[in-house]
C-alpha cells in the first residue's frame, strides 16, 4: 500500500491525484493532505480521505482548520507553515509525494521529498526550473524516484528507453514537446491588446489552475517545460524543440538517431500521468476516456510564433544563460502573471517585465537553497520595480 502525501491537495492536480487514489483503495492511501488557505476544501478532503496529517501553509488558518476537523470528529493531526510542509514531505507518514503546489512556494517541500528518498510525482515545474541542479543532487542523495507528472515530461519518460529518462548512449536525437498553443493560438500581437484574465484562463483543452492557464496563454508554460526537460532528462537546449499541436492528443515525442520517433498519445486528462506515476512500473485504471482515433480524424502540427509569444524565447534565453537565470525568469513570471490576474498589468506586458528583470539581474552559478530563495526574492522586487516604472 502506497502512503501518498498530496501537497496542493485542493488544486487541479491535487484533485486529479485524489481521484486516482480513490479508485484504488487497496493500492493507494492519501496519508497527508496539504493546502495553502483553503480551509473548508481541505477539511472536506480530510472527511473523505481520513489522512494522518493535514498541513495548511498559512499559519493564520491553523486554528480554523483544527476547529473544523475537531467538530467533524476526525483524528487527523494538523500542522501549519512552510516548515511544516517540508517536514511532512520528508516524514515517515508517506513514501510517495505528489508535488502539486503552484509556484516557488513548492520548492522547499519538493527538494525535501527528493532528499528523503520518496517517490516524487513532480507537477510543480517551477521547482525544477528554479533549482534543477539542486533537485538532481537531492534525488541522487536520497536514492528515490522521480516520476514526471507534467503531461509532456510524463510522455517523454514513457518514450525513453527503460522509462528512466536516461539519455546517455540511448541514441536520442531530439525531445519534441507539444504545445496546445493556448486560447490565443493563431493570433497576432496586435490582437492580444486588451486581453482580460478571464479570456486568458479559458484554455481550450485542459482544466487547470489560473497561474498555469495564463502561462499556457503566453507560452511561458512551454518555456518552463523546455527548462524542465533539460533538467529532468539532461538534454541540451538545442536538442529540445517545441511544436504546436492544437488537439493536445500527442503529449510529446522522442526522436532517435535511427529515424524512429516515439510518441505518447491520450486524451488531455492529467489523471493518466498521475496514475502512471502512482503505479509505475505497473499500469492502473485512471478513469480517463479511451482515445477514439476515428472520431479525432486528424492531428495537426505547426511551428510556434516567437514574435507574438515572446515568453518562449525568453525561457530559452534563461536556459542558455544558465545558473540562476531560470530562477529569475520564474520569479519575474510569477509576479507578472499575478499582476495580470489582478488586473494591474496588460497581457502583453508580462513578457516585457520578464525581459527587463532578466536584463537587470546579475547571474550566478546555483549553489544552494538559501541562495535561490534570495535570488527569487530579489527578482520579485526587480520585477515589481519594472512594473511600477513602465506599466502602473
Q: Which residues bind Mg ion (CB under 5 A)?
A: 150-152
Report CA 370 to chain centroid distance, whole Å.
Answer: 21
Q: Is the dihedral of CA 178, 331, 273, 341 positive or negative?
A: negative
* CB nearer ligand NDP, residue 38 or residue 252: 38
Report CA 69 to chain centroid distance, whole Å.
Answer: 29
Give the list of residues 6+ apart from residue 36 with CB closer than 8 angstroms, or none: 10, 56, 57, 58, 101, 105
Counting contacts by CB under 6 A, is residue 266 touching ligand NDP?
Answer: no
Find the binding residues for ligand NDP in span 192-231 (CB under 6 A). Answer: 206, 208-209, 212
Site string for ligand NDP, 165-194 (x = CB under 6 A): ------------------------------
* CB nearer ligand NDP, residue 24 or residue 37: 37
Residues 93, 281: Cα–Cα separation, whole Å:
22
Residues 7, 112: Cα–Cα separation, whole Å:
12
Q: How far is the CB of 361 from ligand NDP (least distance, A)?
A: 22
C-beta neighbour count of 206 within 10 angstroms: 17
Kindly tell me which residue out of 53, 76, 79, 150 binds ligand NDP, with binding defined by CB under 6 A.
Answer: 150
Q: How far is the CB of 6 from ligand NDP (least distance, A)?
A: 9
Interacting partner of 391 out of Mg ion, ligand NDP, none (Cβ under 5 to 8 A depending on kind) = none
Counting contacts by CB under 6 A, is residue 391 touching ligand NDP?
Answer: no
* CB nearer Mg ion, residue 86 or residue 98: 98
Residues 124, 287: Cα–Cα separation, whole Å:
23
Residues 119, 82: Cα–Cα separation, whole Å:
21
Kindly tell me which residue out of 3, 4, 5, 11 binds ligand NDP, with binding defined by CB under 6 A.
Answer: 11
DSSP, residue by residue, 132-151: HHHHHHHHHHHT-EEEE-SH
Kindly tell me which residue out of 4, 100, 172, 220 binds ligand NDP, with binding defined by CB under 6 A.
Answer: 100
Kindly tell me which residue out of 5, 45, 89, 105 binds ligand NDP, with binding defined by CB under 6 A.
Answer: 105
Angle, helix 310-321 to helix 349-360, in steps of 10 degrees: 20
Report CA 341 to chain centroid distance, whole Å.
Answer: 19
* CB nearer ligand NDP, residue 309 or residue 386: 309
Residues in the site for ligand NDP, rule: CB under 6 A?
8-14, 34-38, 57, 85, 100-102, 105, 123-126, 150, 206, 208-209, 212, 270
Amino acid at each position: 500500500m502506497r502512503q501518498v502525501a498530496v501537497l496542493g491537495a485542493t488544486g487541479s492536480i491535487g484533485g486529479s491525484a485524489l481521484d486516482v487514489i480513490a479508485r484504488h483503495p487497496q493500492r493507494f492511501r492519501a496519508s497527508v493532505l496539504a493546502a495553502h488557505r483553503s480551509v473548508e476544501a481541505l477539511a472536506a478532503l480530510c472527511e473523505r480521505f481520513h489522512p494522518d496529517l493535514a498541513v495548511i501553509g498559512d499559519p493564520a488558518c491553523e486554528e480554523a482548520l483544527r476547529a473544523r476537523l475537531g467538530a467533524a470528529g476526525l483524528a487527523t493531526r494538523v500542522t501549519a507553515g512552510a516548515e511544516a510542509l517540508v517536514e511532512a514531505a520528508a516524514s515517515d507518514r508517506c513514501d510517495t509525494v505528489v508535488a502539486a503546489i503552484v509556484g516557488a512556494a513548492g520548492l522547499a517541500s519538493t527538494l525535501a521529498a527528493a532528499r528523503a528518498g520518496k517517490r516524487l510525482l513532480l507537477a510543480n515545474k517551477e521547482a525544477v526550473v528554479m533549482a534543477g541542479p539542486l533537485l538532481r543532487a537531492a534525488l541522487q542523495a536520497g536514492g528515490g524516484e522521480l516520476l514526471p507528472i507534467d503531461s509532456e515530461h510524463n510522455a517523454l519518460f514513457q518514450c525513453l528507453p527503460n522509462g528512466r529518462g536516461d539519455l546517455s548512449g540511448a541514441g536520442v536525437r531530439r525531445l519534441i514537446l507539444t504545445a496546445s498553443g493556448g486560447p490565443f493560438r493563431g493570433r497576432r500581437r496586435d490582437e492580444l491588446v486588451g486581453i482580460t484574465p478571464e479570456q486568458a484562463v479559458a484554455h481550450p483543452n485542459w482544466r487547470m489552475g489560473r497561474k498555469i492557464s495564463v502561462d499556457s496563454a503566453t507560452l511561458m508554460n512551454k518555456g518552463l517545460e523546455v527548462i524542465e526537460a533539460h533538467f529532468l532528462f539532461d538534454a541540451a537546449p538545442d536538442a529540445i524543440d517545441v511544436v504546436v499541436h492544437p488537439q493536445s492528443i500527442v503529449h510529446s515525442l522522442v526522436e532517435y538517431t535511427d529515424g524512429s520517433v516515439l510518441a505518447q498519445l491520450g486524451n488531455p486528462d492529467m489523471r493518466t500521468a498521475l496514475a502512471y506515476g502512482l503505479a509505475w512500473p505497473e499500469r492502473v485504471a485512471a478513469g480517463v476516456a479511451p482515445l477514439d482515433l476515428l472520431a479525432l480524424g486528424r492531428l495537426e502540427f505547426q511551428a510556434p510564433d516567437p514574435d507574438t509569444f515572446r515568453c518562449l524565447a525568453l525561457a530559452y534565453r534563461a536556459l542558455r544563460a544558465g545558473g540562476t537565470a531560470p530562477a529569475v525568469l520564474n520569479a519575474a513570471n510569477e509576479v507578472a502573471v499575478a499582476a495580470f490576474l489582478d488586473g494591474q498589468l496588460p497581457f502583453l506586458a508580462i513578457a516585457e517585465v520578464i525581459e527587463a528583470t532578466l536584463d537587470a539581474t546579475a547571474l550566478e552559478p546555483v549553489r544552494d537553497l538559501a541562495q535561490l530563495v534570495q535570488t527569487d526574492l530579489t527578482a520579485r522586487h526587480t520585477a515589481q520595480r519594472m512594473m511600477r516604472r513602465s506599466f502602473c
